[in-house]
Chains A and B, each alone.
Chain A
Amino acid sequence: MTDPGDLLLRWVSERGAGALSDVKQGMWWLASTYCPDIEPGAAGRWLRDAVSLGHMDIDWRNRRWSAAPPVLTRLPHARGLAVLAGSRTAAFDDRLDQAVKDGLVELFRVPSARPSRDIPLPVSLIVQFDDEAGLAQWATELGAEYTSCFALQGAALLPPLGLEVRTSAPEFGQPLEQYNLDRREYQPAGRPQGDGLYRLKQREGKRVCQVLRNGEWYETSHEEGVYSVLESRNPEADVLRWLPEKDCGRERFGTLYVDWGYPLPDLHRRVAVMCSGLAPRINAHAENLAYDNVPKAVAIRIADSLGQHLGENDE
């Protein structure tokens, strides 16, 4: 196994859980030997994609991670395809190879393209099935959990936006940054200037995001903070768009476009990715991410839970 993406997934799978800093250090070492054009942030982007692909769960705030258990789940309306996500230990890979050899399953290793500034992602393991009961049984034999269709089930479970946990105001005089929604970046702010999303370093050095609304401060993540602010400002911001497929009979399926600067929260991203089992496409020119095979109902659910109306223009 020499492909860096697969090697990294094997590595996190064998480690099980740990601190984010250790895993980033290992990733950076590997990347520096395999990826000559790597740029800062590559490790973070790889980890975010690994979360979307259902391989890991990451508690960013407390800087820890755990590998996700292996799960077999159907892709929605994808001509009998399922995806095998989660942990891929050596023992698991051996069992899988044996199953393929024994002809128990048709397995395809499908790469997700990433630019050269990024660390390659592990291949997606796409499985062809013709009988759901058989699929579930094979998952159990392999030692994987079975989730009928994560994209649909996860979408139904998406929590609504909400600022619940109050927190203290930033310490006076400490460096503070405010997120500029239009420029899509944090900018230094001398002091809080009205409602918005702020980033600051806490006493113990943790970099956290907080939302200021009506004079109260709330804990948040960057992604949820962005949508919280956007919701109160403009629920029709048109940063999430869905375009139906043009093929006959597939009008209810399409591509979800998410503009740069308005990243989906981890769980929302995972729901969108699990529609195709592949990482989102990066449209550098249009400055957005494209999630394929997203049922319209799922796209609406994602937008609703982020307080946004789903745009449908296909300009």
Chain B
Amino acid sequence: MRAAYRRWHEVLSTEFFGADHALRSTVLYVDDEIERQLAELYGIETSLAQAVADELNWGDPERPLFTHVQREDAQWVNSGIEGPPPSLPVLALSVLAATRMASSDGMLRSNFYKRWFQVFDEPLSGYRANKLRRAFEDVAEMWEQLDSWLQETGGLFGTSTVSTDDFYWKIGFPISQALVRGSDRQVLTRFFATTRLRPRNRTEVSGRELLRRLRVWTAGRERHLSPRLMEELSKGADTGETLITSLLRRLADDWDGTLHEPEHGHRRRALGLRLMVADRGRRLDWLAEAVETTPETEVCLPGGRTFTLRKEYGDVYGGLESLRPSPQQLAHGVRLEGEALVLEWVPQEVVLLRMHPYLGEWVSTEYFEPGEQHWILAADSAVGEVRSMVNTLGGRTVRETAAPTVGWKLFKGVRAVNGGAFARTLDRGGAHSYVLEPQIRHRAELSGGLRIATEYRVGSGVAGHFLRGGGPDLLLPASESPDGLVEVVLDGCTEKLRADPRIPFPLRLVPLDEGEHEVGTAQSSQVFTLHDGLHDGLPPGTGMLGYDCNGTAQRKLSEVGDSGAAIRGAYAPDSKRLPRTELVRSDVLEAVLIDHRGSARRVKQQSVPAWMVSRLPEEARGSCLEVEVPEGYVWLVYRTAARWSVRALAAVEDIPDPAPSHDDYAWAHAILSAAERSHAPVWLGYVAAAEAIAGKRGAS
């Protein structure tokens, strides 16, 4: 192996797999410019192509073309894979070839091999070209070796982004590395941040969804991505995994949440600012989600004010309240930088908003959730297009109002309930239709639902336990089939439930029994359970909070346990003696309360109160007359159309003997009306006393 090759190996090892790449995704991107820079920087006179060409075995037809390199590789393996593999210059050269692929005819397979022959200054056909082409199988193996070496060393030399796909396979390796140059990586980490990707892509956003969002992010705005990457983005491939989707997914999966800023030591976390429309659309605020490990930090506007951010309820930062979103900020973006954090709002003409579950306000979001309600904040220049778009969406009337900032409008109540109209709106396209695009998923997922129990068994495979009637929504993966249909498997039954996987399927609409269910597609499914209830008695925690009472209730609610001395719900401790209430049928024409001292209190018949007539169904308007019984009254005498009756209001032994005055005629009259209706001795005593009064009156 010659000195130039060894030198290039050293240089490439340092530049792409050095200590500062540890635990970061690394891309072996080498184009003509980088090759020239490296040669100058390290004083190498032989070009990379020449250094590799010098190692090719053209002389011995019995052995492979890359036999020297392969021999070195074998030794490297035997001696314990220390440092990057000796094939590194070959791999770098294959990337250089890929970067030279003409943009006019794209990344065609033949296109790559032409460049591969050219870097070696070989003719494009003939024996040597064929040999170079065949030998590329060995180069692909070298790429696989690099990938496994990076993985086996646990990220010490960087994490691998070596990718390919079924279609390209061999040449996909260098092409994947050629797609993303250093400046692209910096821009891509900004993109990951502004699209609010979680570090390590914890929410497992698919490569296709990343591609979709990246296309949206780059549409109509100069984001300074390299022309090659932009070209790859614009390619039509909408189905299946492609080079770009698998590469984006790999970069996202490895992204640690920091900006790709070698000059800052890759320290700064990056986050997308959100726009919040608060107070029913009357106020605009900036909103920043809090970084778990940074509860408090400072950021400032370039050359301007400093803001202290503190983590608050709902995992957001407080402290940006005084930074009011202005038309200028909306038009040109906002960048807040600190030692530990960079917050950025990338300008856009149309902003999609969804209700934040914790904050209860409308907050900008990355993708549309069909079925859920959204608001759209649109710059005046985009209002016409947005209006016609939401009209195509159909359904409920969308309300268009002034936004809380000049030059913008708010569209409230945007949702897709009609699958057909939704699909038509998306297919119709238009400059801003992307905001209505839902997430592209690569497997079936469940979302929403009313969960009634927590699943504590790790790895149980159960996605959740839900209340029957509050079952979750099924989010289908993007269709791979030519007809665009997704076959849904529910408890073993396969059905083409829906034509458009972009719309979540509400499982609560399917009558399902209590118990376990499995739903999804043939490739991926989710298990969940449905229950009407889980408790025979009261669930734990019921009645935990209440108002302790001691004469009066406490003003503040507290934990009261099972204490009977607290107000819990409509339970109140018996602190007040209520007047006794007696009920008689409402066909009672008159009623009189009688005490033992000669007092008779007439109870008025009442009509049905107006509130009952207006609010209760007719049969529930109460068929009783409620008689409040003041202290001391012991008998209730009442009359229906047919007869008089008497009812004792106390236990017989508690009814005192009658002691009326001689002129309590009303008392006597009431008793005598029902004299015959009871034969209880104590009642007969009252009848006798009444007769005495009546007799006396008769005598006088």
Chain A residues packing against B (C-beta within 8 Å): 1-2, 7-8, 10-11, 13-18, 21, 24-26, 28-30, 32-33, 36-41, 43-44, 54-59, 61, 63-71, 73-74, 77-81, 83, 85-87, 89-91, 108, 110, 126, 128-132, 143, 145, 147-150, 152-154, 156-160, 162, 164, 175, 201, 203-207, 224, 245-250, 253, 255, 265-267, 270, 274, 276, 278, 292-293
Residues of A within 8 A of B549 (CB): 157
Of the candidate stretches B76-84, B219-227, B620-628, the one touching chain A is: B620-628
Inter-chain CA distance A154–B552, complex, in Å, is 9
- Taking a contact as CB atoms under 8 Å apart, the answer to whether A14 and B313 are in contact is no
List 24 contacting pairs A-B, 8 Å CB cutoff, sorted by A: A2-B469, A15-B452, A15-B541, A57-B569, A65-B545, A66-B545, A68-B571, A69-B568, A69-B569, A78-B609, A79-B609, A85-B570, A87-B542, A129-B583, A145-B571, A154-B553, A156-B575, A157-B572, A159-B552, A159-B555, A205-B310, A247-B606, A247-B610, A276-B611
A78, A131, A270, A276: which contacts B570 (Cβ < 8 A)?
A270
Contact with A along B437-481 (1 / 0, CB 8 A): 000000000001111100000000000000111100100000000
- Asked whether B676 is an interface residue with its Cβ less than 8 Å from the other chain, the reply is no
A32, A67, A247: which contacts B373 (Cβ < 8 A)?
A32
- Taking a contact as CB atoms under 8 Å apart, the answer to whether B626 and A80 are in contact is yes
- Asked whether B280 is an interface residue with its Cβ less than 8 Å from the other chain, the reply is yes
- Asked whether B54 is an interface residue with its Cβ less than 8 Å from the other chain, the reply is no
Q: Nearest CB to that of A154 among chain B residues?
A: B572
Q: 10 closest Cβ contacts across the A-B interface?
A: A68-B569, A205-B312, A79-B622, A17-B541, A90-B533, A80-B624, A16-B539, A54-B570, A16-B541, A108-B620
- Taking a contact as CB atoms under 8 Å apart, the answer to whether A89 and B535 are in contact is yes
Interface of A is mostly: mixed
Residues of B within 8 A of A80 (CB): 583, 622-624, 626
Known: A17-B540, A66-B545, A154-B572. A37 touches B413 (CB 8 A): yes
Q: Nearest CB to that of A25 among chain B residues?
A: B357
Smallest beta-carbon distance B555→chain A, Å = 5
Known: A110-B616, A126-B616, A250-B606. A33 touches B371 (CB 8 A): yes
- Taking a contact as CB atoms under 8 Å apart, the answer to whether B543 and A128 are in contact is no
Interface positions, chain B 47-71, Cβ under 8 Å from A, are none
- Taking a contact as CB atoms under 8 Å apart, the answer to whether B313 and A206 are in contact is yes
Inter-chain CA distance A69–B537, complex, in Å, is 11
Q: Nearest CB to that of B568 among chain A residues?
A: A68
- Taking a contact as CB atoms under 8 Å apart, the answer to whether A69 and B604 are in contact is no
- Taking a contact as CB atoms under 8 Å apart, the answer to whether B543 and A201 are in contact is no
- Taking a contact as CB atoms under 8 Å apart, the answer to whether B467 and A16 are in contact is no
Inter-chain CA distance A25–B449, complex, in Å, is 10
Q: Nearest CB to that of A90 among chain B residues?
A: B533
Q: Nearest CB to that of B415 among chain A residues?
A: A36
Inter-chain CA distance A130–B610, complex, in Å, is 21
Residues of A within 8 A of B473 (CB): 33
B540, B552, B610: which contacts A16 (Cβ < 8 A)?
B540
Smallest beta-carbon distance B114→chain A, Å = 55
Residues of A within 8 A of B497 (CB): none
Interface positions, chain B 280-296, Cβ under 8 Å from A, are 280
Interface positions, chain B 587-631, Cβ under 8 Å from A, are 604-612, 615-617, 619-626, 628
Inter-chain CA distance A34–B532, complex, in Å, is 19
Chain B residues packing against A (C-beta within 8 Å): 280, 310-314, 316, 318, 321-322, 355, 357-358, 360-362, 371-373, 395-396, 413, 415, 417, 448-452, 467-470, 473, 506, 508, 531-547, 549, 552-558, 567-576, 578, 581, 583, 585-586, 604-612, 615-617, 619-626, 628
Known: A14-B452, A293-B609. A67 touches B318 (CB 8 A): no
Known: A58-B545, A131-B583, A150-B572. A67 touches B617 (CB 8 A): no
A24, A69, A145: which contacts B357 (Cβ < 8 A)?
A24
Residues of B within 8 A of A78 (CB): 609, 612, 622, 626
Smallest beta-carbon distance A3→chain B, Å = 9
A73, A89, A130, A274 interface centre (most CB from chain B within 10 Å) = A89
Residues of B within 8 A of A267 (CB): 547, 553, 567
Known: A36-B415, A57-B545, A78-B626. A250 touches B620 (CB 8 A): no
Inter-chain CA distance A21–B371, complex, in Å, is 22
Residues of B within 8 A of A11 (CB): 450, 452, 467, 470
- Taking a contact as CB atoms under 8 Å apart, the answer to whether B575 and A79 are in contact is no
Known: A79-B621, A147-B570, A249-B606. A67 touches B357 (CB 8 A): no
Residues of A within 8 A of B417 (CB): 36
Inter-chain CA distance A172–B64, complex, in Å, is 77
- Taking a contact as CB atoms under 8 Å apart, the answer to whether B572 and A249 are in contact is no
Other A-B pairs beyond A86-B569, A207-B313, 6, CB < 8 Å: A40-B360, A70-B538, A85-B570, A147-B572, A153-B575, A247-B609
Inter-chain CA distance A74–B570, complex, in Å, is 10
